[in-house]
Amino acid sequence: MFKGSFVALITPFRNGGVDEAKFQDFVAWQVAQGTHGLVPTGTTGEAPTLSHEEQERVIALCAEVAAGKVPVIAGTGSNSTAHTIELTRMAKKAGATAALIVCPYYNKPTQEGLYQHFKAVHDAVDLPIVIYNIPGRSAVDMNNATMARLAKLPNIVGVKDATNDLARPLRMRIEIGPDFAMMSGEDATAVAYLAQGGDGCISVTANVAPRMLADLHEAWAKGDFATVRQINERLGPLHDALFAETSPAPVKYAAALLGKCEPTVRQPLCPIMPQTQERVAQAMRAAGLLN
pLDDT at 290: 93
pTM for this entry: 0.96
- Confidence at 33, pLDDT banded by 50, 70, 90: very high
In a domain, 263, yes or no: no
Rounded to an integer, the average pLDDT of 238-266 is 98
Rounded to an integer, the average pLDDT of 223-228 is 98
How many Cα neighbours within 13 Å face the side chain of 9?
A: 35
Proportion of the chain above pLDDT 90, given as a percent: 99
- Confidence at 157, pLDDT banded by 50, 70, 90: very high
Cα(60)–Cα(268) distance, integer angstroms? 26
In a domain, 267, yes or no: no
Q: Report the CATH number that the domain containing residue 174 is assigned in CATH.
A: 3.20.20.70
In a domain, 260, yes or no: no
In a domain, 162, yes or no: yes
In a domain, 51, yes or no: yes
Residues belonging to the active site = 132, 160
In a domain, 86, yes or no: yes
Q: Across the strands, what pairs with 100?
A: 75, 130
Q: Which of 216, 204, 215, 214 is nearest to 254 (CA)?
A: 204
Burial class (CB in 10 A: 0-12, 13-18, 19+), 275: exposed
Residue 187 has pLDDT above 90, yes or no: yes
pLDDT at 291: 82
In a domain, 35, yes or no: yes
For 175, the domain range is: 4-221
Tens-digit pLDDT profile for residues 50-99 = 999 999 999 999 999 999 999 999 999 999 999 999 999 999 999 999 99
Tens-digit pLDDT profile for residues 95-127 = 999 999 999 999 999 999 999 999 999 999 999
- Confidence at 1, pLDDT banded by 50, 70, 90: confident
Domain count, the chain: 1
In a domain, 84, yes or no: yes
